[in-house]
């Protein structure tokens, strides 16, 4: 036998919800893009340093993001190969200078504009750093295919 829900449902308002985590997207978020092309023939930091958004609890220097608030962060990296380049892209998102498991982006010999993305959720303490490290020849422009975004999603 199956049961069906019948009748009218009560109106639900978010105003009466309690116990939800505080998310301050203004203070604990960043979004950068690569304004000029960058080639890393050997492993090095990618300086994705053109700011669209830098929250008041976030600092950036030379491609390294430092978070000022502990919590769980949703981080996305969009990597884009420079057209015509056959340089292999082999890179990781790192936390405090150490590769984060399952954060690798890899492709070789694209010889065209091509891109890949990686999104992770990771816990951070205040003053932890995040960066992108590896090889590749990445496209850069005001409408770039390379973006680096993070936001604290909870405590």
10-33 pLDDT tens trace: 665 556 656 655 656 689 999 999
CA angle (59, 63, 66) in 5-degree steps = 30
State the pLDDT at residue 78: 94
What is the phi-psi region of residue 19: left when phi exceeds 0, alpha when psi lies from -120 to 50, beta otherwise?
left
Question: 65 pLDDT exceeds 90?
Answer: yes
Q: Which tokens sit at 74? A: 């949703």
Is there a contact between 148 and 30 (Cβ–Cβ < 8 Å)?
Answer: yes
pTM of the model: 0.82
CA angle (22, 72, 16) in 5-degree steps = 25
Question: 96 pLDDT exceeds 90?
Answer: yes
* Separation of alpha carbons 152 and 68, rounded Å: 10
State the pLDDT at residue 86: 83
């Amino acid at each position: 036998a199956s049961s069906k829900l019948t009748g009218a449902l009560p109106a639900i308002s978010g105003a009466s919800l309690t116990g939800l985590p505080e998310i301050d997207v203004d203070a604990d978020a960043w979004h950068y893009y690569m304004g000029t092309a960058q080639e890393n023939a050997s492993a090095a930091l990618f300086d994705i340093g053109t700011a669209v958004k830098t929250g008041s609890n976030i600092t950036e220097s030379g491609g390294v993001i430092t978070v000022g608030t502990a919590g769980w962060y949703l981080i996305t990296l969009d990597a884009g190969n420079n057209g015509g380049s056959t340089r292999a892209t082999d890179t990781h998102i790192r936390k405090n200078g150490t590769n984060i498991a399952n954060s690798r982006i890899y492709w070789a010999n694209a010889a065209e504009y091509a891109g890949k993305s990686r999104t992770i959720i990771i816990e951070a303490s205040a003053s932890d750093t995040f960066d992108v490290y590896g090889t590749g020849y990445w496209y850069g422009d005001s409408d770039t295919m390379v973006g680096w975004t993070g936001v604290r999603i909870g405590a």
